[in-house]
Chain A
Amino acid sequence: MKAAFKFHGGVHPPTHKTESTGTPIAQAALPSKLVIPLHQHVGARAKPVVQVGEHVLKGQTIGQPEGRLSSTVHAPTSGTVSAIDLQLVAHHSGLPDLCITLIPDGKDEWIAHSGVDYKQTPHTELRHLLRQAGVVGLGGAVFPSDVKAYSNKHKIKTMVLNGAECEPYITCDDLLMRERASDILRGAEVLRELLYAEEVLIGIEDNKPEAIAAMRQAVIDDRHEHMQVIAVPTVYPSGGAKQLMRILTGIEVAAGVRSTEKGLQCFNVATAYSAWRAIAHGEPLLSRIVTVTGNVECAQNFEVLLGTPVGELVAQAGSRPDTDKYIMGGPMMGVQLPAATVGITKAANCIIASSPALFPPPLPALPCIRCTRCAEVCPAELQPQDLYWFAKANNFGKAQEFHLFDCIECGACAYVCPSHIPLVNYYRYAKSEIWAREQESQAAEVARERHEYRQFRIEREKQEKAEKLAQKEKAAAVAKAEAAQTPVATPLDPNADPDDTMQLRINAALARAKEQAAAAHPKNTEALTPQQQAEIAEADARRAQAHEMALSDAERKNE
């Protein structure tokens, strides 16, 4: 079946996919060390739960999720933890982040693990298993799958399985679908059950006929009634979640609306595969398929342990001496790696070895001529030329008005720009500035609240102190007056009912207390030196003065 709908815009960059599809998925060799970042997913960073020097087994949890939106990190093979420190990671900033370095012992010894029958297992348990297995979206967004595989308020009608893989050079999903179609579909079936979705639409770009055939065959073989494989036209970025949903269902997810509100949810094929491995075999996410391509001798796909240093991985595909940098992801949206020591993460679908010949440095940018070719290709139907204008002028309010946050940073606008303006960089700059300001104003709000509460508290404490002092003073005055008046025991209240023993008891207790107060004497006051006497008198005078001040204070307040 062919897709019936289209999304706006899109571009047709050279796909460069055939280079890496000639050979089947190869198992990457065990590297000399693994650098495993603890923040490989959307949400909070995982908390390390191992010590340096500790021996860990394959599949053992080394990073525990923190908070609702987080994921687990595991040891991809058995070995010894050699360091838990800041290491360079695959991030646009080129800044280091907390990583666990593991030296493999070569035994590849598994921790005890076993799968469950998903049909017999409650859904909350299945979601917990996904979280414990560290399953996140492997299409590149790395959003924790247990959070996504849950539909509470919104009924999910259609689950979209994303096998479009629209970005040039990347073929990892293609090969996975060719070789492991039935496991992908089983995983998709689990996710469908979790969402109570009625149907699963599998979108695959029509430049992958082998994958489409394999998936269709698997649907027939395994009798998946709710599933349908749909060939979608090859146009970048058809693999964007909202774009693929639009192609497959015709439903447009508007700005600021979640796809779940429209009854849609989207998973990548590799996510479905790893969900199946986690549920049915108890295997956490320890490795992923990575396309190694670009300036290498033999471009191909590898099954790579997470944390494998990029340099060691590229060497297995035959690195060439003129390689000057590495790109993680595709040429349109990828991250340029700060070093070859960076470890493969869950988001790393492709490593492109780059050379000046392959990716020549960008041409110098010329002024924008407002040709609006960017607007023609923008899949989010934005006005990139206006967004560029506002971002350049730091006019962030206006950029937001023009829906800057609907930009998916696909790079189609920059690709077609005849002035070679790095448009996406401007949008990213504007977005991160807006986020930073948002955070600052939130922090200011908190500080204001705390400051106001502190002032309120200080005022309250002052008042309470004054009131207490005044009350004490009053009570003392009353007691003095009473003691002067009635040195004898208080007579019974004439109005009190003689049978009311409670009243009698209260009166008796009052009398006792008064007697005790009268009997109390200051201790250690015998044999005082004249100097001590003088000090005591001075202190008494001070106290009296303070009482007077407090009294007059309270009186003034009463007035």
Chain B
Amino acid sequence: MIAALLVMIGIAVFLGAVLGFSAIKFKVQGNPLVDKIDAVLPQTQCGQCGYPGCKPYAEAIAKGEAEINKCPPGGEEGIRKLADLLGKEFIPFGEGAAPKAKSVAFIDENICIGCTLCIQACPVDAIAGAAKQMHTIIASECTGCELCIAPCPVDCISMLPIGEDITNWKWRYPVFPIRATI
């Protein structure tokens, strides 16, 4: 009887130790759901969702504090992906939050005074320049978040939509008439 109890206690202690050890050893850093949501978001870091970047928005969604339709750069497809991921219903964009055409910032270098305010605002370090030196956008890194436009004291930054050329042209969805049944 006592032997059996001891054996059971021994097993319980051993398994408890294993569980305790693995809880420390294999601890998951951060919330994996946040990373999954963050992976769906377009990483423009524009703050149009009301959060200071994509990660904070992902955290807010994971906590259930934010709706999934707050990210215009992600487009409707982004909402659909988030809805799929979270098992929620698709919600359309709210008023005035419709996605815009993709664009990149452009600095008019004749007007730029080299104040570095836009450099400080750029969330992805896509502006090159230094104090009292002309600034310029590294177009390939620009996410089109528009965060540099507001701080510019001389309004020398404008957003240029990315036009279609041979390198980024896409085949259209085939549209053709289907004959009416005879």
Q: Which of A145-153, A228-236, A349-357, A438-446 contacts B (4 or more CB under 8 A)?
A: A438-446
Taking a contact as CB atoms under 8 Å apart, the answer to whether A422 and B176 are in contact is yes
Nearest CB in chain A: distance from B101 CB, A:
14
Q: Which of A205-213, A266-274, A362-370, A525-533 contacts B (4 or more CB under 8 A)?
A: A362-370
Give which listed residue, B44, B169, B172, contacts A447 with CB less than 8 A.
B44
Query: CA–CA, A443 to B168, complex, Å?
Result: 14
Query: CA–CA, A437 to B54, complex, Å?
Result: 19
Taking a contact as CB atoms under 8 Å apart, the answer to whether A431 and B171 are in contact is yes
**CB contact under 8 A between A92 and B171, given known A366-B179, A446-B141, A448-B43:** yes
When C-beta atoms are compared, the residue in chain B nearest to A428 turns out to be: B171
Could you list 21 examples of A-B contacts with CB < 8 Å?
A91-B166, A93-B169, A95-B165, A95-B169, A97-B165, A362-B176, A364-B177, A365-B176, A422-B174, A422-B176, A429-B170, A429-B172, A432-B169, A432-B171, A436-B168, A443-B43, A447-B124, A448-B54, A451-B43, A454-B124, A454-B125
B residues whose Cβ falls under 8 Å from a Cβ of A: 38, 41-45, 53-54, 123-126, 141, 143, 164-166, 168-174, 176-179
Taking a contact as CB atoms under 8 Å apart, the answer to whether B123 and A95 are in contact is no
Taking a contact as CB atoms under 8 Å apart, the answer to whether A364 and B179 are in contact is yes
- Residues of A near B125 (CB, < 8 A) are 450, 453-454
When C-beta atoms are compared, the residue in chain A nearest to B38 turns out to be: A448
User: Quick check: is A433 within 8 A (CB to CB) of the other chain?
Assistant: yes
Give which listed residue, B53, B141, B143, B164, contacts A95 with CB less than 8 A.
B164
Q: Which of B42, B169, B171, B178 has most chain A Cβ within 10 Å?
A: B171
User: Quick check: is A110 within 8 A (CB to CB) of the other chain?
Assistant: no
- Residues of B near A446 (CB, < 8 A) are 141
- Residues of B near A366 (CB, < 8 A) are 178-179
Give which listed residue, B42, B123, B168, B171, contacts A444 with CB less than 8 A.
B42
Taking a contact as CB atoms under 8 Å apart, the answer to whether B166 and A93 are in contact is yes
Give which listed residue, A422, A432, A445, contacts B170 with CB less than 8 A.
A432
> A490-528, CB under 8 A of B: which get 1 and which 0?
000000000000000000000000000000000000000
Query: CA–CA, A122 to B91, complex, Å?
Result: 65
Taking a contact as CB atoms under 8 Å apart, the answer to whether A364 and B178 are in contact is yes
User: Quick check: is A426 within 8 A (CB to CB) of the other chain?
Assistant: yes
Taking a contact as CB atoms under 8 Å apart, the answer to whether B141 and A450 are in contact is yes
Query: CA–CA, A425 to B170, complex, Å?
Result: 11
Q: Is chain B's binding surface mostly helix, strand, loop or mixed?
A: loop
Query: CA–CA, A302 to B175, complex, Å?
Result: 37
In this complex, the interface size class of chain A, counting residues with CB under 8 Å from chain B, is 20 to 34
Taking a contact as CB atoms under 8 Å apart, the answer to whether A39 and B166 are in contact is yes
Taking a contact as CB atoms under 8 Å apart, the answer to whether A451 and B45 are in contact is yes
- Residues of B near A436 (CB, < 8 A) are 168, 170
**CB contact under 8 A between A447 and B170, given known A95-B164, A364-B179:** no
- Residues of A near B170 (CB, < 8 A) are 429, 432-433, 436
Query: CA–CA, A191 to B123, complex, Å?
Result: 51
Number of A-B contacts (CB under 8 A): 78
A residues whose Cβ falls under 8 Å from a Cβ of B: 39, 89, 91-93, 95, 97, 362, 364-367, 422, 425-426, 428-429, 431-433, 436, 440, 443-448, 450-451, 453-454
Q: Which of B38, B41, B125 has most chain A Cβ within 10 Å?
A: B125
Give which listed residue, B141, B166, B173, contacts A97 with CB less than 8 A.
B166
Other contacts beyond A362-B176, A422-B176, A447-B124: 7, CB < 8 A: A97-B166, A364-B177, A443-B143, A445-B43, A447-B141, A453-B125, A454-B124
Query: CA–CA, A444 to B165, complex, Å?
Result: 21
Query: CA–CA, A548 to B167, complex, Å?
Result: 58
Nearest CB in chain B: distance from A444 CB, A:
4
Q: Which of A93, A362, A431, A445 has most chain B Cβ within 10 Å?
A: A93
Taking a contact as CB atoms under 8 Å apart, the answer to whether B126 and A429 are in contact is no
Query: CA–CA, A191 to B12, complex, Å?
Result: 73
Nearest CB in chain B: distance from A295 CB, A:
24
| List of 7 A-B pairs having minimum Cβ-Cβ separation, nearest first | A364-B179, A444-B43, A447-B43, A93-B169, A425-B174, A450-B124, A429-B171
Taking a contact as CB atoms under 8 Å apart, the answer to whether B171 and A451 are in contact is no
Query: CA–CA, A436 to B53, complex, Å?
Result: 24
Query: CA–CA, A39 to B164, complex, Å?
Result: 16
- Residues of B near A97 (CB, < 8 A) are 165-166
**CB contact under 8 A between A451 and B166, given known A422-B176, A425-B171:** no
Q: Which of A422, A432, A440, A444 has most chain B Cβ within 10 Å?
A: A444
- Residues of A near B143 (CB, < 8 A) are 443, 447
Query: CA–CA, A510 to B27, complex, Å?
Result: 52
When C-beta atoms are compared, the residue in chain A nearest to B73 turns out to be: A444
Query: CA–CA, A294 to B123, complex, Å?
Result: 57
Query: CA–CA, A428 to B164, complex, Å?
Result: 17
Nearest CB in chain B: distance from A343 CB, A:
15
Query: CA–CA, A446 to B178, complex, Å?
Result: 43
Taking a contact as CB atoms under 8 Å apart, the answer to whether A426 and B43 are in contact is no
Query: CA–CA, A433 to B172, complex, Å?
Result: 9
Query: CA–CA, A445 to B41, complex, Å?
Result: 10
When C-beta atoms are compared, the residue in chain A nearest to B145 turns out to be: A447
